[in-house]
Structure 1
Amino acid sequence: MNGDCTIYFERFGSPDDPTLLLVNGLGSQCVNYEEAWCERFAAEGYQVIRFDNRDVGLSTHFTDAPVGDDGAAYSLRDMAADAIAVLDAVGVERAHVMGLSMGGMIVQQLAIHHRDRLLTITSVMSRTGEREYGQSTPEAFALLTAPPVTERDDVLDRAVASLHVWGSPAFRDEERARAQAARAYERAFDPAGVGRQYFAVVAAGSWADELAGVTTPTLVLHGSADTLIDISGGRRTAELIPGARFVEIEGMGHDYPPEFWQRWIDEWTSFVAASTPT
């Protein structure tokens, strides 16, 4: 619990191992971190926790939340506090934290406001809130901000359309995209909640000035083929955080198909081994 917000989470691996907390992107439920993906990290010797951000999945949906002057019902900092509430619930004092897209923004907020709870942070396919960096292509932005669809078939078609706009070009698997979208639709469907998350991102503005004070060991990953958040967003994040390590993944878009999993795990485990005391 974080105040009146209940957060749903799941665990993989042994609670005796160091913890890796996974933070989702805009509108993405925890099941987007597939079980096979989580089990791979667990096999490396980590307790893996995935959770639903507020307003998606099985966590609290803020249907009647008042909207502030900035158009947002809550902030990215509030969402970072939700992540801390998950660590509190499982009794973990400090964790490795990895976030994708909006999740990367939340992870950066954790590094700014909750550094005492972190071992490392990994910001993936994300940005710093600065308008000059990490912008979408016109096609990607138009699809991101298109009116939501509500019928199941239309939702699955939208997932396929998104895949062809910002997915990794060499690994566009329409069947997999449809299956993921169907699972999320059947588990919990709330486009208004996704809209509230979007406004939290917009209202955050830039937090670039605060990143210079981050002391947590930081890894930044970004795909060269990302059209939703240009790779300049990742480069800028690594530039502003002292000592951050930047890794470009050639050919990866704004997704992470299984073909990239091993490279990702290898980069992350190498970074953690170099960044944390034995």
Structure 2
Amino acid sequence: KTIATDVIAVLDDINVEKSHYFGFSMGGRVGFELAAYHSERFLSFILGAQTPGSRNEHGNESDRKRIALFQKGPEALKRVMSRSKKEYESYLEPTLNGDLKAYAAKTKANAMREDISEHLVGLTVPCLVYAGESDSLAHESAKEHSQKMPTARFVSLPGLNHMESIARTDMVIPMVKSFLNEVST
């Protein structure tokens, strides 16, 4: 909730009463928290590749593997990331130059996050939830949770994984523009 509270503090500081919100991955999680606890401050939410609820078993296993990888150190991380898809290349250098203990701690904290889905069943703000069809961490859970949110719609992006569902701007931008046009009229 801390980051969501920080978002509200920034809006207050710059005198923005209401805003649209677009968050992807961790930013999507922050958006779900904003929708759950501060929805009156937003005109709409666009939440990509994330879920307000607990992770599925694949997500839990992914967290365990990432924690173990961060704990093994930079050489192990470099080996694994160099075998990953091209869209992860931009993360390699900053991750290797970062604090791997901090990354492991962040991943542990993320794995223990609160399930806030029950706070979203009364949401009245328009919400677009989307995930790549091949995003095994978020797709099914995001789809399931969005069906419980009265003002949410879920969009599945065919064939895309987690990172592709933000990198493929040719698919994401038209979807976002269409949603914003719809909720702004």
- Of Structure 1 and Structure 2, the greater helix share is in 2
Where does structure 2 lack aligned partners over 5 or more consecutive residues? none
**Aligned letter for 1:156?**
K
SS in 2 for 1:145: helix
Q: Which of residues 154, 160, 175 is equivalent to 1:246?
A: 154
Deviation at 1:124, TM superposition (A): 1.1
- Structure 1 residues 215-236: Cα deviation after superposition (integer angstroms, max 9, x where no partner): 2210011111112x14211112
Q: Which of residues 156, 163, 181 is equivalent to 1:255?
A: 163
Query: What TM-score do the two structures reach when normalised by structure 2?
Result: 0.83
Q: Which of residues 218, 221, 224 is equivalent to 2:133?
A: 224
SS in 2 for 1:272: helix
SS in 2 for 1:204: coil
Residue in structure 1 matched with residue 51 of structure 2 by the alignment: 127
Contact 2:49–2:130, Cα closer than 8 Å, also in 1: yes
Contact 1:220–1:246, Cα closer than 8 Å, also in 2: yes
Q: Partners in 1 of 2:21 and 2:153 — Cα distance?
A: 15
Q: Which of residues 175, 178, 182 is equivalent to 2:89?
A: 178
Q: Which of residues 71, 80, 100 is equivalent to 1:191?
A: 100
Query: What TM-score do the two structures reach when normalised by structure 1?
Result: 0.58
Q: Partners in 2 of 1:84 and 1:103 — Cα distance?
A: 14
Deviation at 1:255, TM superposition (A): 0.6
Q: Partners in 2 of 1:111 and 1:221 — Cα distance?
A: 15
Residue in structure 2 matched with residue 143 of structure 1 by the alignment: 65
> Structure 1 residues 199 and 183, CA, compared in 2 at 3 Å: closer, same or farther?
closer
Q: Partners in 1 of 2:143 and 2:66 — Cα distance?
A: 22
Does 1:157 pair with 2:109?
no
Q: Which of residues 27, 48, 55 is equivalent to 1:103?
A: 27
Identical residues among aligned pairs (%)? 24
Q: Give runs of aligned pairs for residues 60-71 of structure 1, distance below 5 A.
A: none
Contact 1:125–1:233, Cα closer than 8 Å, also in 2: no
Q: Partners in 2 of 1:140 and 1:244 — Cα distance?
A: 27
Contact 1:99–1:107, Cα closer than 8 Å, also in 2: yes
Residue in structure 1 matched with residue 118 of structure 2 by the alignment: 209
Contact 1:124–1:220, Cα closer than 8 Å, also in 2: yes
Contact 2:49–2:139, Cα closer than 8 Å, also in 1: yes
Contact 1:95–1:120, Cα closer than 8 Å, also in 2: yes
Q: Which of residues 27, 30, 41 is equivalent to 1:117?
A: 41
Q: Partners in 1 of 2:147 and 2:37 — Cα distance?
A: 19
Q: Partners in 2 of 1:232 and 1:94 — Cα distance?
A: 30
Contact 2:135–2:161, Cα closer than 8 Å, also in 1: yes
Q: Partners in 2 of 1:192 and 1:88 — Cα distance?
A: 33
Aligned length: 184
> Structure 1 residues 136 and 160, CA, compared in 2 at 3 Å: closer, same or farther?
farther
**Aligned letter for 2:139?**
I
